[in-house]
């Protein structure tokens, strides 16, 4: 699995909820705080449920690859400039980053390039951990967490330099 396929899987979860997907499109254009807050709930609930179903369809190698891509995406945005906008600390900042990834590639790229679009404390904790649970359930063993990139806050040392 490559990064494009990773994002396609997340996008396929959004396809299950057309109204939420339309609201996300609007939010990408207008960046209205109320829409973003609503989408936080959508990502944490409906999108997470749909994504879980999609993850169960993956074979062992693709599921492991999905996990590695998720870790890399979360690690990449573990940065001071992003944290300054989300105001999350420790695990709270990790959960804010989970929301950013859960919103899909377009939002992720926009937030990565311009953290000023981000709002405080909008979280979707489960998105970052779904694949670990699916892997354990399907294969009756845990996959090593943080095996390629550590997702804990302030692991990306380059992202926290002053």
CA triple 32-34-35, angle to 5 deg: 65
Q: What is the pLDDT of residue 154?
A: 92
Find out whether 21 and 15 touch, Cβ atoms under 8 Å: yes
Query: Rounded mean pLDDT of 89-103?
Result: 93
Q: Report pTM.
A: 0.96
pLDDT digits (tens, 9 = 90+) for 49-89: 999 999 999 999 999 999 999 999 999 999 999 999 998 78
Assign 144 a pLDDT band (cuts: 50, 70, 90).
Answer: confident
pLDDT digits (tens, 9 = 90+) for 8-21: 999 999 999 999 99
Q: Which helix (H) or strand (E) holds 136?
A: helix 130-139
Count other C-beta atoms under 10 Å from residue 69's C-beta.
23
Nearest Cα to Cα of residue 124 among 66, 40, 6: 40
CA triple 8-32-7, angle to 5 deg: 10
Enter the tokens of residue 89: 């600390």
């Amino acid at each position: 699995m490559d990064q494009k396929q990773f994002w396609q899987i997340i996008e396929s979860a959004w396809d299950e909820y057309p109204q939420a997907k339309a609201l996300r499109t609007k939010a990408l254009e207008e960046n209205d705080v109320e829409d973003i807050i609503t989408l936080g709930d959508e990502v944490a609930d409906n999108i997470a449920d749909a994504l879980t179903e999609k993850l169960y369809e993956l074979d062992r190698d693709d599921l492991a690859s999905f996990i590695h891509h998720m870790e890399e995406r979360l690690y990449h945005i573990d940065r001071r400039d992003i944290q300054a906008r989300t105001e999350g600390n420790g695990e709270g900042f990790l959960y804010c980053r989970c929301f950013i990834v859960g919103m899909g590639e377009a939002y992720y790229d926009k937030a990565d390039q311009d953290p000023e679009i981000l709002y405080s404390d909008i979280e979707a904790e489960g998105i970052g951990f779904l694949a670990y649970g699916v892997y354990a359930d399907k294969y009756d063993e845990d996959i090593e967490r943080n095996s390629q990139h550590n997702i804990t806050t302030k692991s990306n040392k380059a992202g926290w330099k002053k």
